[in-house]
Every structure is written in structure tokens, then in C-alpha cells.
Structure 1
Amino acid sequence: MPPIADLGLLPESAAEHQGGTTLCADAPWASACRDPDTVEGFAAVVADYADRLWAAGVRPGEVVALVKANHLDIQALQCAAVRIGALPALLSAAMDPADLLDCLRDLRRPHLLTDAVGAEVLRPWREQLGALVPRLLTLTPGAGLDGAVELGETAPHRVTRHHGTDPTLITHSSGTTGKPKLVVHTVDSLYAHVASQIGVVRSLDHAGISAKCLSFVHVRMSSGLLTVLNTGMPFLGITSPGPARVCETLLRYRPQALEAHPNMFLRWEALAHNTPNPFAPVERFISSFDAIHPRTLRTLLEASDHPDPAFIQAYGQSETGPVTVLMLTRSDVRGAGLSSRDVGGVFPGMTELRVVDDDGSALPDGTPGNIEVRTPARAESIVGRAPLPGRDTWWPMGDVGVLRPDGHVELHDRQVDRVPGVPSTLRAEDVLLDELPELAEVVIIAVEGTVTAVTATAGGTPVEEERWRRARRAAGLPEDTAVDHRPWEEFPLTGTMKVRRNRLPSRAALG
């Protein structure tokens, strides 16, 4: 079928062409009319949700803010809202409550749709909610906020068709560097996230399942759904990143492709040594968020039983979609010196990238500076912010890196995360993880002027002092680098499992 970019119409169209294709979640659809396991079933759930939203009084042009448990049903609810002409705003229930309230305030009195998980997060703030949202809707009978109306009644809805420049979706940035931004995507900008990917997927053998363990409110999941429904790729949504649950799910479904956030893959490294091995059938590992550590790449690719597995890494952000792409094989990662700094080259004919100094002047290849891009996938606007410049202007990514003569981009740091005396925290963290296999996580920050390594080990025991000193020297860190060892569970994370570096110093400063 020809590509369709309208999220409201796409499920129905996909059901007509490939209704029997697998599309399912690893956990029950608690709020849906059925537990769909095919594209046809997914489309039926979307239509039912659209009837329920319509019966609840949601109408074209209105904003529906969604705060609920992480599950594939978020994507069905999103499609249902778009189908009736509303504008869905997908907010993570894992967001800091103060940030969540700020987002609701910026959305200017949206409908608020929650379930038991969302209600639990918002209940302490019930008095403030009354001034921020005109109506509370709940998917969970008896577990909503006081005064919430259950989304139970149905009424035939009216379908709204969307054109390329129409706003179709609001998602939010991770908030690793401050308050999350509410990013508005149009039909065209969202489709540009995946236009080239759809062509690639159609050229591949994708008879096996593509599994994604992501934050289902992230724009990557919405663009992923566009790809899945346009190509007929069998799909599995994994709801929880817990290693035991993930292992069970992978062994049950045996996916051909597996996508997750980089820190999820890092956390799953130990699963590669399980018997049976859950990664054995995976041919393609995919990540499109932060740069991923080389140790994790090696572990995953070596764990696959496929003769030539690949890791596909994309670099981008919520506002731009993917900017560069890199594909690595076993032979690429077995050599010494591999760094997560290399995130590949731009998408030909679609994205432009340059590196500039602080005054905006382009720098020669190999010179570190600020990364800027131009892409048709850039978002339309940011809620509560000044209008964005046209897509023909250069967009600052907020990252420091270099453009190599071969066209590949190397990341050094986020601009706000730079640590004086450390040329690249990314490189230093890569080296430490390679030198110290027991590390489950390490983050380099500055605390009151002192370079500090915040660490967690798989077994919970701090790294032996002499081994730490050797690893520190290999990483090029100063001799007086402090170590703050803490349990992995105490690392402050976003909904996409990025470490919130700006929240780490509080405890480190006490040491």
C-alpha cells in the first residue's frame, strides 16, 4: 500500500491490507475492549477508543494529555485522539511531578486522561489539577482521581482527516538538562522521521518480529508505529525493562530485531550469559537515543547466534528525529579503540550537519565545536516557546563534537554536561566500562569543581582501589577524581532511562 502519514487513518488502512500481521504487547491491554495480537485487532481498539473519547465529549482541535502506565495502548489512544481531530499530548508518568504539572499548565487546560498509575502520580497534586485541566478522564474504573469520568461509554465518532502541515502530536523531550520541552509534530515532520526508514525496511527480510522496549510516550515510538503499519513488519511492544521480565519475553517471542534505549541494553548485558540465551535469535539490534557504550555493543553482538548480526545506531533528538545513522558488525566492534563517540553519517539527501564555534562560524573537519543540523523532520513548534525559525535554518543540537573527513560525526559531550579537565566524558566513561567489567553504570560529573565518577556495580560492591586507579589512568581522568559509589536504583532516570546528570551531585556533594 502507498505510505500513509496520518496516524488517525493509518491503523484502519493497514488492517485492510495486512490485518493478520502480528502486532501485540507482552502485557494485557487492561483498558482496551480486547487484547489485540494483530494489526486488525489494533485497528479495532483504536476505533473503540475513538468512540469512547467522542462519547466523553472530546472534539476536534482540543488537546488530550495522556498520563498512564507505560504500555502499547498509549499508541492506540494517540491514534484514536488523532482520528477524531484532537491533539494528543503524551506525557510520561515517570516524569518529575513538578515538571508534569508545568507541562499541563503549558498545554492550557487540556483534557487529562489517566489510569491507576497516572492517578497515583497525580493524586497528591489534585488541588492544583483543578486549575490546570477542565476535565479528568480515567481508563481504570474505581482507581481514578476524585471527580474523574470513566472512559466507558461509546458513541459513533466522526473521523477527521489531516493534511501535511496540521499539528498531529505533542511529545516531550527527556528533561535531562532541565524542564522537559513540549514538542509539536505535524503530519509531515513526523513522517519525515521515518520516510527513509520505510524504504529500507521494505527492502529487508522482516518475516520475524521486531520488538521494541521503549517509553511509549516518546516520539520514537510514534514514528516506529508509522513504520510498522506502513511496512507490515510484525511487531511486539515490551512494557517493562526489568531484566527478568525482558528475558522471559525474548525467549517466548524470539524477535528478529530488538530496539531499546541505550541504558536498557547496558542493564541487560548480564542476560547474554544466561542459558538459554535470550539474544540468540536477534539479527538486528537498534538504538536511536544516546550514544551506546562499546562494551554493550560487543556483548550484544557476540550473544547473537545469527552469522552476521548488526547494531544500528541513530543519533538525534525529539525535535529533529534521527540525524545520523551507523551500522556496526562483530568485526567492527572486536578491535581495540572503538568509541561511542562515532554516531555515523547523515541521511543522504535529507539531513545536513555542520560543526560551528560559539559565534556560529563553521569549523573545519576534525575541530571540536557545537553540532547544528537542518532537516525536514524538525518539529513545528515548542509549546510555550517563541515561534521556531524555518526548517531552512540551522538547528542547535546542544552537543559538542567533531565532523570527520569521512563524514562521520563524533560526539564528545552535551554542552551543559561538559566537565572541566575532561576532554570527553563519553570517551572516559567508555574506557572505564571496558576496563572494569563489573561496572553497571558510570557517569562523570563535576561536583564543586572536583571531577567525580558516580558508579554502580552489578554486584553492589565498590571497585577495588588499585583496579580503579589503573582504569582511571587509562580513561585520562585526573588523579584526584572522586568516586561516589551508589546502588543502580539510586540513579535518577528519565522515562527513557537517561541518567539525569544534573540530579546526581546532591549526594556526591555530601561525600
Structure 2
Amino acid sequence: MNPKNDRAELAADQGLGVGNVLTTLLARNTGLDAPTLTFDTEVDSIPAWQALTLRELGDRVAARAAALHDLGVAPRDPVAVFVTAAADQVLSYLALARLGAIPALVNGRLAGEQAAEYIRRLRAVGVIADAGHRSVLSGHDTGTPLLADPADLGKGDPAAAPRPYRHHGNEPVVITHSSGTTGLPKAVTHTHHSLFAAIRHRLTLPKGQGADRMLGALPSAHAATVIAVNLALVGRGQLALLSQQAGGPVLEAIESWRPQSVLGFATTWSELASEDLSARDLESVRTWWNTGDCAHEAHIRKLIAKGTRETVTANGRALVPGSFFVDGLGSTEMGHSQFFITHTSATDRYGRCIGKPHAFSDVAVLDDDGEKLPAGKVGQLGINAPTLSPGYWNDSVTTYRTRRDGYFLTGDLVFRDEDGYYYHVDRMVDALELDDGQRLYTMLCEERVLADCADVLECTVVAVRTEDRVATTVLLFLDPRADQDADRTAEVLAALEPHVARTVERVVVVDPDVIPLGATGKVRKILLRRRFLDGELLGTGAAAQQAVMA
């Protein structure tokens, strides 16, 4: 097999998509004994951390497809998958796609009431749930029966699996959901071609550094994991998938499995940067790939100081100390990150820069009337790309509210500089207009505090409007070695723009456990705003009462 020809042939195959990558590769009958996916839990007597070959992966998926077929699952049936293990999530997705059913992947961290209501609105034909999540759903009405425990699906007979379903480009293949930071997660539809569009684009490019051995520290129910799985398969690389994304377990996996790339969200980089990285062996890592929210400079700089990367020197190509960090901005609805920028220790473009758009993305910065804004003006981010979700499952109202003149309105506020680089300043729901006509961008505030205050490991800024003013609270999570009782007010205010600093009422050191998070680790600022408006103070002792400005 010529790798170059293989990539070109797969890129040109217009029948290929996220519904049939595995079955297409098996039918090509090449590389069947090459390692593909590795899971952190046992799979049908295959030990944890032992890679499944392409042949074994196809066999295990066919077994599950046969079992689901025997349970009556048919093409176009939506089936919810509510589990903990990455193996159960990914193998269930692949098996349901093989049947032509539509897996609806549910983040295992959703609370019972929230998960049940989400599943009820899907109008699914059944739920695949492990024992723990059957208990979570107990007593809640999902409107659909519990279909199977994933532990039993592997007992199916692979030879009895029906012929793989023939997918078409615009057909729904998988449903994932938004983070749920503003309420009930929204069910996002992805088609056979939409989630594959960025992968097809990558197949036309040279293989990136680190693509041969990747560690997926992503929520396994997220669209990003579906993309990562298919990218690894068509790229003939290895991908290890973690069932949890906390900093400690991710570092342990890096040291033991030694990936060349690590895929994750901003919350994982924050946790990694909070660790003493000087004591960890991260030499194998060449690239950190971020998706979802863009990452903070303070966290990026700590990560790119570790690992190695290949570069061109006077003596030819060589490995040098320090890794790449590929940043950008994406969302479940966008289907893939729409921007990219590569950081190393030799680069210095930060300030929430998300880079330039990918070649497949048409990007616009729009005002409230949908008119395009020039460089330097902050506006709503609009995206038109083949990766986009066609809409929200069973929710046409929300679908059409987020569309304007061919663009999907992401809910993000951005601007473009004269060089064509884009910068993300906030989510629309979190930014506030001040009485002097200037605006307060909470995420931009967090970026500045983290960049300027060395002892601060994580920062959350929450601004609320009362009847006569805007009141801002800055919540800090400090390095454990720092003085937890020191007054951080002056340092924080100095990091902020003057018009923002004037609104700050409290700078509070908190335990991160008191910050409400969504299923993917994003801060639920809407809940914090409600709590502050109700008069609740976070923190303990004098820090909780600290009022720095009237």
C-alpha cells in the first residue's frame, strides 16, 4: 500500500463519510492487522491499553451491530447512548452507524433529570446505558425503553450482522449535543459528509506531525471524538481514547502510552498547566491539538515548553526541545474548528487570537442587522462551511433562529485584524454594554488576568447588571504554593482595562469545586450570575466579603 495513494484515493471517494469509514477500509482489504484504536477499558476480553487491529475493530463492531439488529434496531432509528467508558461510546456509535441507525451520543456526566429530558426530546427508539447510567435514569421519564447494556452487545455474532447500510452524503448519521452551559443541551445533527468534510480536506494535505500516534483526551460523546476516530482510521494512525479528561489521568496516559499528539479541550489544558510539569515525562509529545473554546496563553506557554518537535535546521531536519500547540475555535454546531494558529516558544501572537480560517470555511463578522463589519470591529461570528450541522434535532425553531443569509451565528463575539487574524473576545450572553458605551468582555478579562498574574492558575469573570450599574466579580483559583490569603485586588485591577476595572466589586479566591461546570467542563456563567443576583457570595472568610469598589 502506497500511503500517498491511499490518502488521495480516500479523499476522492465521495461515498466516504463518518457513517462508513470503518466498513470501507475493511472492504479495501489492506492494513487489516495494523493497530487502530486503543481503549482504557477492556473490550470483549481484549485488555485495556491493547490496541485493536483494524480486523479486530471491525469484528467487535459487527458483533454489536448483530446484537442491536436482533433487538429490532433498524435503519434511521435514533438510539441514545448514555455510558461512561470511551469504548462503549465509540463502539456503539460505529455499530449503530453500520446498521444505518442514528446514534445520539449523550455525555455521561449529565445529571439524571437533565439527561432524561434530553433523551425524551430526541424521541429515540431506545437507550443503550451501562449499569451506572441506568441508575442515573432511574425514576426519570425518558419516553423510551432501556434497550441494552453495552457489556452485553459484544456477545453478538459478527457473522450474523446485516450488510452495512449504504449512507448518503446529506443523511443524518450521528447526533451529539452542545455543552449545556446556558440550559438543557441542544441536540445537534451531523450528516455523513458534514463531519467528514474537514477530514477529507486533511487527506489532501501532508500528514501532520504527531498524527501517527494520538491520545484523545476529549469527551467521548462529543463530535470532536467522532472526528478524531475517523481521522485516525483514514490516516492509518493509532488513537488511544480516554474515558475521563482530568489533568492527572491525562498526564499518566501520556507517560505510559507516549503519544505524539494530544487532543483536548481548553479545560484539560488548564488542568495540565496546574500540575508540576517539570516532574513529568512529556518528551514524546510533538503537538497539542485544541478544539472547542480557544485556549489561554498562560496555559499554552507551559505546555509548549515541554515535548519535542521536528524542525528544519542548518544541518537538516532535527528534533528540538519544545512542542507545537494548535489552537482555534470550534463548536458542536460548527462540526469542526474553523480557525487555526500554531504556537511554539518562538511565536508570540496571543490575546485570544484564534488564527485564520481553514480553507473550507467562509467566515464573517456581522453586526446586529447581519451586515458584514470591517477589520477592527467586534461583531457576531458567522460561519458557512461544509462541516456545519444542518440544524438541531426536533427543533427547527432554534435551527432557523441561528441562521442568517447562509451563515450560522455561533453566539461568539470576534474581530479581525488587518493581517487577517481573528480574535475571540467573549460569548454574546456573557458580554455587557457599559453606561459609557464601552463593552465588558468577560473572556478577554480572564485572558488578561491569567497572562499578568503568575500565581493565578484559573480565572472566571462574572458581570451582572443591576438596576443602576454593572457589578463584576473576579474569581481566582491560585497555585497551591501561593499565599491564599493575600489581597490580589491591585494585581487583578492592573491587568484589566480601566473601564472594566471600574466595575469590579470583588476579587475572590475560591476552591474550583464551587464553580458550576457543564458536562464538557465549561463554566456555567448563567448559574453564577443568578447566584450573585440572589446575594450569594463565593469564597471563605474575609475573601468572600471583600468589596474593592462601591
- Offset of 1:290 from its aligned partner? 0.5
- Tell me what 2:114 maps to: 99
Q: Aligned equivalents of 2:479 and 2:298: distance in 1?
A: 14
Counterpart of 1:289 in structure 2 is 292
> Conserved in 2, the CA contact under 8 Å of 1:215 and 1:221?
yes
Match of 2:520 among 468, 490, 496: 496
CA RMSD of aligned residues (A): 2.5
Provide Cα deviations, 1:84-107, integer angstroms capped at 9, x if missing partner: 111110011212433322221221
Any idea what the Cα deviations from partners look like across 1:416-469, whole Å, max 9, x if unmatched?
011444532222111211233332321111245410112222429775544431
Query: Kindly tell me: are residues 396 and 9 of structure 1, through their superposed partners in 2, closer, same or farther at Cα, counting changes over 3 Å?
Result: closer
Q: Distance in 2 between matches of 1:445 and 1:135?
A: 40
Deviation at 1:506, TM superposition (A): 4.9
The change in CA–CA distance for 1:206 and 1:264 in structure 2 (over 3 A counts) is closer
Alpha-carbon distance between aligned partners in 1 of 2:269 and 2:304, rounded to the nearest angstrom: 12
Structure 1 residues 205 and 345: CA distance shift in structure 2, 3 A: closer
Counterpart pick for 1:244 among 238, 241, 248:
248
Post-superposition shift, 1:312?
0.8
Evaluate the alpha carbon distance shift between residue 101 and residue 305 of structure 1 in structure 2; reply closer, same or farther with a 3 A threshold.
same
Partner of 2:72: helix, strand, or coil? Answer: coil
Q: Which residue of 2 aligns with 1:510?
A: 536
2:476 corresponds to which residue? 455
Matched with 2:144 is 133
Distance 1:291 1:204, change over 3 A: closer
1:376 deviates by 1.4
Q: Distance in 2 between matches of 1:234 and 1:44?
A: 18
1:393-432 map, 5 Å: 393-421=406-434, 423-432=440-449
State whether structure 2 residue 470 is matched by structure 1 residue 444. no
The equivalent residue for 1:312 is 326
* Matched-pair contact (CA < 8 Å) for 2:298–2:451: yes
Alignment pair present for 1:170 and 2:181:
no
CA distance in 1, matches of 2:404, 2:382: 12
- For residue 501 of structure 2, what is the aligned residue in structure 1? 478
Separation in structure 2 between the aligned mates of residue 91 and residue 460 of structure 1, nearest angstrom: 38
Pick one of 334, 338, 358 that aligns with 2:368. Answer: 358
Secondary structure at 2:350's aligned position in 1? coil
Rounded to whole Å, the distance in 1 between the matches of 2:192 and 2:173 is 6
User: 1:196 Cα shift?
Assistant: 1.8
Cα 1:70–1:499 change in 2 (3 A) is farther
Aligned 8 A contact 2:330 2:338 in 1: yes
1:211 aligns with 2:219: no
Partner Cα separation in structure 1 for residue 97 and residue 175 of structure 2:
11
- Partner of residue 10, structure 1: 21
Q: Name the SS for the 2:365 alignment partner.
A: strand
Q: Could you tell me which of 112, 121, 126 is aligned with 1:111?
A: 126
Structure 2 stretches lacking a partner, 5+ long: 1-5, 310-319, 538-550
8 Å contact from structure 2 (residues 92, 150) kept in 1? no
**1:267: Cα distance to partner?**
0.6
Residue 161, structure 1, aligned to residue 178, structure 2: no
Q: 1:242 to 1:324 in 2, by over 3 A?
A: closer
Assess if the C-alpha contact under 8 Å between 2:255 and 2:281 holds in 1.
yes
User: 1:197 maps to what in 2?
Assistant: 202
Partner letter of residue 510 of structure 1? E
C-alpha change, 1:25 and 1:491, in structure 2 (3 Å) is farther
Residue 392 (structure 1) shift: 7.2
Aligned CA distance change for structure 1 residues 162 and 391 (closer, same or farther; 3 Å) = farther
Quote the Cα distance in structure 2 between the aligned partners of 1:34 and 1:319: 35
Preserved CA contact (<8 Å) 1:63 1:87: yes
CA contact (8 A) 2:381 2:411 kept: yes
CA contact (8 A) 1:272 1:279 kept: no
Q: Please tell me whether the aligned partners of residues 382 and 409 of structure 2 are also in contact (alpha carbons under 8 angstroms).
A: yes
Scaled by the length of structure 2, the TM-score of the pair is: 0.83
Deviations 1:248-287 (A, max 9, x none): 2111111111111111111111445343x23222111110
Residues in 2 aligned to 1:101 and 1:89: alpha-carbon distance in whole angstroms: 13
Per-residue Cα deviation, 1:299-322 (whole angstroms, up to 9, x for no partner): 000122442521111212111222
Q: Does 1:180 align with 2:189?
A: no
Contact 1:279 1:300 in 2 (8 A): no
Matched residue of 1:18: which SS? coil
Number of matched residues? 491
Between the aligned partners of 1:464 and 1:432, the Cα distance in structure 2 is 18
SS in 1 for 2:373: coil
The whole-number CA distance in structure 2 between the counterparts of 1:463 and 1:472 is 18
- Distance (whole Å) between structure 2 residues aligned to residue 88 and residue 391 of structure 1: 29
Could you say which residue in structure 2 is the equivalent of 1:145?
Answer: none
CA contact (8 A) 1:212 1:238 kept: yes
Tell me: CA distance 1:352–1:6, structure 2 relative to 1, closer, same or farther (3 Å): closer
Q: Which residue does the alignment assign to 1:85?
A: 100
**16-25 or 431-440, larger mean C-alpha shift:** 16-25
How does the TM-score come out when normalised to structure 1?
Answer: 0.89
- Taking a change above 3 Å as real, the CA distance of residues 368 and 229 of structure 1, as seen in their structure-2 partners, is same
In 2: Cα distance, 1:378 partner to 1:412 partner: 22
| Equivalent residue, structure 1, for 2:67 | 52
Aligned counterpart, 1:469: 490
The more displaced of 484-493 and 14-23 is 14-23
* Cα distance in 2, alignment partners of residues 229 and 392 from structure 1: 36
Greater shift in the superposed pair: 224-233 or 95-104: 95-104
Q: Once the 2 structures are TM-superposed, how far is the Cα of residue 69 of structure 1 from its aligned partner?
A: 0.1
Cα shift readout 1:359-410 (whole Å, capped 9, x = no counterpart)? 1111111111111111111112211222756997111111111122222111
Amino acid at match of 1:99: Q
SS at match of 1:291: coil
Mapped to 2, the partners of 1:18 and 1:458 lie a distance apart of 47
Post-superposition CA distance 1:118-150 (Å, at most 9, x none): 22321242xx23xx0044322247xxxxxxxx7
State the alpha-carbon separation in 2 of the partners of residues 220 and 392 from structure 1. Answer: 27
Cα distance change on mapping 1:208 and 1:359 into 2, 3 Å: closer
Post-superposition Cα deviations, 1:216-269, rounded to whole Å, max 9, x if no partner, equal: 110111111121111112211122223332222111111111111111111111
